[in-house]
Structures are given as C-alpha cells and as structure tokens.
A and B are shown apart, each in its own frame.
Chain A
C-alpha cells in the first residue's frame, strides 16, 4: 500500500477526521479553507524542491558546452536568465509558476513547456477519462454481482479477476493486448493515435486497475450494507429483492466509493506514463518519458509540477464532494 500513489486507509482517516471535526456549515467552510491552505503549502514546497534540485543537478544545461565560445555561452545564459543571482532566479521561477509559465524547453527551440503540455493534454485526458469511466462502471457491476451472489461461482470468478487486475501491472496487460489483439488477430491498430479505434486498447489496458480496485471495494461495501439493520427492516416489511438492492443497497454502498476515485484518477495519471509510451500515444506521459531520456529538465520539472497540481486539486475536490454528499458525515457532528 505504501508506494501506490495513494493509500485507501489514508483517505478513510482524513474522512474520519473530517467527520469528527465538522459541526455544520461553518465548519465545512473551515475544513475547505484548511485544505486549500495545505494545498498551497504543498505546492510551494514542491516548487521549491524542484528548483533546488534543478540547481543541484551536475553539468551545464548546454548539451555541447565545449563546442561553444565563452561569448556564445554568455548569450544563451543571458537568454534563459541563468546569470542572475540564485535568489532572483528563484523569485522569477515562482512568479512564472503562478502565471502558468513553466519555463522553456532545452530541446525544442524556444518552445515554452506550457505550450508543449497544452498541445499534448488532449490524448492523455481522453484516455484518462475513458479509462476512469469504463473502469469504475465495470468495477461497480462486477463488485455488485459478486456481493449479491456472495460465495457463489460468480463471486469467486470476479474475486479472481479482481486479484489479477490489482496484481498484474498495467504494462503487462498492455503487452498482452498489443501482441494478441493487434498483432496476432489484427482487430485493432497496434499503436499511434489516429482516431477513436486507436484509443481502445490503451483505454482497456488503463481501465483494468481501476476496474479491479472498484470491484474489490464495491464488494466489501455492498456485503457490509446488505448486513445492515435497515436492509433487514426492508426485507421484513416485504419489499421485493430488487427494490432492496437498488433502493437501499447500491445507493448506500456507492457513497464510500467516491473516496477511492481520487486515488484511482491519480493512479491513471501514473498509468498514462507507461501506457502512452507502449502505444505511442502523443500525450503528456509519452513526452515525459522522452524528456527523461533526453535530459530535458524544464519539461521534466514542468510536467512534474503539472502532475502535482492535478493530483492535489483532484484530491481536494473529491474530499469536499464526499463531505457534501454523505449526510451522515455532514450531520454526525451536530449532536
């Protein structure tokens, strides 16, 4: 649990803190305010660490420094602001970040990192959203089926699927899909990005982890809900089985699922790095991996910053949503 980008336990704890500390509207506002302050501190910290690390990195930012004359180097240093004292550079860097300026790529002449990122965000976002939707919907269905037919064959089957899905790394699935579906059977294109059918295989490869996680989570939640007293009451008053499951069961089991959506979305972000490279999708992840191999530090740092912002904002939104949706959490402090 420790290295996946999230730990479900953590979120429970955050939620539990939330539940006990909040006492109505004013406290919700205070909670949100507190979270936003933490968010800003964290982002500032990441930006500072990135900056310090960039300064610590050995070697000249010029790939072929020895071929250039002093004067030429001077011109380049001047252009990138590398002659200023370090504190000035730091302030400029932070100021740029606030305005969404992530620096200029070393490799792609004069292209701002933010331009490169915005060019490439489309495919990444499409893949991520498709995978999140498919993964969660399939996972919820799988989890529901196995909870309703608890301990039956369907339950065992979907448990096996869930264990395999959470254990086997996405790049292994990607390799399998690419080799069998695309190369052997030739049903779908192997790689690159030329329309919807090109997005199917990467989406499936990405969706397997969220699907398996959702299925496991949904199964435990649903089994727990089906054992609650209000389900027994509903059954005792003669409500039909389907009505119990749909009206009382699923609704209550779905609420905690929101807590794992944030971590899952972040997991997808990590997944895109690998999946985009395997399927040659021109997205942010693929750009990142290319930049790592070519030592293009502004792009690496810029993308890292971008990931950090996406991650933190996503968690914030989901925390707030969770507090708003579950009345038990809103009301629990009121007595």
Chain B
C-alpha cells in the first residue's frame, strides 16, 4: 500500500465537478438484471464448466454420428460384442480400451480353466493369451486362469476401431450412443419449449385478465395437476404410435402445468406493482405493458424453470424406454441404450457404462446450470 501511494502523482487527480446540472448525471450505464446475471454466472466456475461440457456433448451428438464410419442401425452379427478399442489410448494398457476382453476362469486344474475360456471366447485358441493366476490342487475350481482374448485379431478386423465396442447385433456403440444422446436432447428441448409456450400463455392470460377467466382457468388447471403425470404419460404412449413425437406429446400434455402456475403467480404479483399502474395511467396499451414490463420481469423465472424441466424430460424419456414404452428398435435413445445395456450387464458391462455415464453427466450438467441460473436471477440468493 505504501509503495502505491508514492507512485501515484498528485497531478493525476482533479477535483470532481460539483455543479448543479452535473450532480444528477449517472456516470455509468446502469446494469440490467440480465447483465447482472451474466456477470455473476461468469464468475461461477461450476456453471462455466457445465456449460462447456454441455456444448461438447451437444456438438458430439450432432457430429460424431456423421463423422463415424458406421450407422446406428448397421448390423453385422459377425462382429457382435466386440470390446471398446480407441486409437492411441489402446496402447495404455490399464484403460482397457485395446479391444481385448479379459476374464478369469476357474477350473479343477489349469487345463480345465483354459477349456472354459476357449468355450467362452469362440474357440479361437490362437488369439487367447493365458496367464495362470493359481495352479490349483485338483479340488473343484481351485485353479484360476486369466484369459485375454483379442477378438479384433480373431475376426480379422485389426484395422477397425469400435471406440465403445459393439452390441449384441454388432452395431457400433459409439455411433449409437451419440445418436441416442441427440435423440434424448431433441426430445428434452422440444418438450421444454412446448411447455414454455403453453405454460407462459396459459398462466399469463389467466393472471393478466384475472377475475372469472382466471378462476375458470385455474379450476381446470387444478384438476389436471391432480392427475399423476405417470398415468397420463403411460396412457398417451399406449394410444399414440411409438416414436419421438409420441414421447414429446406425452411429456408436454401435463408438463406445462407447473410453468403455468409459476407464471400466473408471478404476473399476479407484478400486476399490483406501481410501475404497472404508472404505465397504465400514462395510457400504455395492454400489449406494451405485457411486452415492456411483465415479460422481462418474469423472464428469469421462466428461464430457470425451463432449465430444470430439461433434465426431468431426459430422465422421463429414459424411464419410458426402460419400461418398454420408448422408441422402437433400431432407433436409439439414452434410455433404450441403457435398457439394452442391462441385458448384457454380466458379460459386457461396457454397453451399460457408456450411456449410463453420459445420461448421468447430462443430468448433473443441467442441474448445475439450473442452480446457477436460479442463483443469478434471484437477488435474494446472492451472498
């Protein structure tokens, strides 16, 4: 501090202008709520990391299936259940991404264990390397052998790379996972936008016109809210043709209600504020009051609510696929991939791991983004 003081020259300072007409001037442009929110979001490390991750996932889901040599529905039973193999990373042994499959087998002696390994791995003895863990003493299952099977070599496809391996039907999991991510994101975004439009319109109209309109609209809403989502979604899926749109419609048919309630509550509150009264006294038309005063003030709440509805939609889509009401095969979504992954959990867990990790990351990212936005738009949450 001391040094600083010495460095600064006295001549740099000038007395502030204190004349009458200058004192009212606001030197700096006032920050709007949006600018303020953006600034605090930029400082939020978790938010920025999440935003970056989301961007990467979205870009990958768009470009990875296009850039891939395989398509999501191209089957080849000859190359089913290959292990994950990624160039460069395959040379780092502990990652297990070199396309080989390793498993331990027990037997009465080493030969018996090796026999079992051969049976499991297509009888391709020359492509299996054995490592004896314990010799065994002849008693049942005392010998243990670790067998590593190079299926890429056995099938003669050493120059192919299935980054995430292949599924039971020999489809490339890398392509399917990213394709599925895109479908899941598409469903979630579409559902969120439809909810937003219907919810804001319904809630806004009810609150703005008030009185009897509001009363009837809210009674209707209360009945709809009373119907459990799960019930409606299942019923809708059953009568609609299975597909992306069926899921979107099923999700939106009850999804808009919470947005409508929130918007109505907020607009009702804002309507009573003095600035709206002032605008009305000055003769501003309805349209202008809505556009200039109500919408910008409700915006933060709408953005936050939409942000939270996206992960819920992703989850619900996966849930529906899981209970057999999702997309029909061969289309992939994260839910159908996870469902398929469970069928081969014991033999090839990697089929479950990749989509499960992706859906978890997506959910976490969206929740952190939602939390961050809520804190940024709600001045009460500021520290």
Contact = CB atoms under 8 A, between A and B. Distances in A.
Interface in A164-179: 164, 166-169, 171-172, 175, 178-179
Interface in B329-383: 338, 341-342, 345-346, 349, 352, 356, 359-360, 363-364, 366-368, 371
- Of the listed residues A4, A38, A297, the one surrounded by the most CB atoms of chain B closer than 10 A to its CB is A4
Contacts of A292: 234, 323-325
Contacts of A269: 230
A130 interface: no
12 contacts: A1-B258, A3-B229, A3-B251, A7-B258, A42-B223, A163-B368, A171-B342, A175-B345, A179-B352, A183-B345, A270-B230, A288-B323
Interface residues on B, range: 35 or more
Contacts of A46: 227, 231
A273 interface: yes
B260 to A, nearest CB: 10
A124 B256 CA distance: 30
Interface string A261-298: 00000100110011001100000000011001100010
A260 interface: no
- Of the listed residues A7, A169, A300, the one surrounded by the most CB atoms of chain B closer than 10 A to its CB is A169
A179 B238 contact: no
Contacts of A179: 345, 349, 352
A282 to B, nearest CB: 16
A3 B352 CA distance: 25
Interface string B58-80: 00000000000000000000000
Contact of B360 (A10, A56, A169): A169
Q: Is the interface of B mostly helix, strand, loop or mixed?
A: helix
A56 B241 CA distance: 13
Given A10-B258, A163-B368, A168 B360 contact: yes
Contacts of B254: 3
Contacts of B258: 1-2, 7, 9-10
B299 to A, nearest CB: 17
A171 B338 contact: yes
Contacts of B223: 38, 41-42, 45
B230 A307 contact: yes
A54 B345 CA distance: 36
Interface string B206-245: 0000000000000000110111111110110011000000
* Top 10 A-B pairs, shortest CB-CB distance: A42-B226, A2-B309, A3-B312, A167-B363, A7-B258, A167-B364, A311-B228, A2-B255, A1-B308, A168-B360
Contacts of B312: 1-4
A277 B316 CA distance: 16
Contact of A3 (B315, B322, B359): B315
A304 interface: yes
A175 B352 contact: yes
Contacts of A4: 312, 315
A161 interface: no
Given A2-B255, A38-B222, A9 B231 contact: no
A312 B226 contact: yes
A5 interface: yes
Q: Is the interface of A mostly helix, strand, loop or mixed?
A: helix
Interface string A33-55: 00000110110011001100100
A297 B239 CA distance: 11
Contacts of B265: 13
A57 B239 CA distance: 6
Contact of A49 (B199, B222, B235, B366): B235
Nearest to B370: A1
B8 to A, nearest CB: 37
Interface of B: 191-192, 195, 199, 222-223, 225-232, 234-235, 238-239, 251, 254-259, 261-262, 265, 305, 308-309, 311-313, 315-316, 318-319, 322-325, 338, 341-342, 345-346, 349, 352, 356, 359-360, 363-364, 366-368, 371
Nearest to A176: B356
Contact of B228 (A1, A49, A266): A266
A203 to B, nearest CB: 19
Interface in A74-90: none
Interface of A: 1-5, 7, 9-10, 13, 38-39, 41-42, 45-46, 49-50, 53, 56-57, 163-164, 166-169, 171-172, 175, 178-179, 183, 266, 269-270, 273-274, 277-278, 288-289, 292-293, 297, 300, 304, 307-308, 311-312
A175 B323 CA distance: 15
B265 to A, nearest CB: 7
B238 to A, nearest CB: 7
B261 A168 contact: no
Nearest to A44: B223
A178 B226 CA distance: 35
A312 B229 CA distance: 12
Given A2-B312, A167-B360, A9 B228 contact: no
Contacts of A3: 191, 229, 251, 254-255, 309, 312-313, 315-316
Nearest to A312: B226
Contacts of A164: 364
Contacts of B222: 38
Contacts of B323: 273-274, 277, 288-289, 292
A172 B324 CA distance: 17
Given A3-B313, A42-B227, A270-B319, A172 B234 contact: no
Contacts of A166: 367
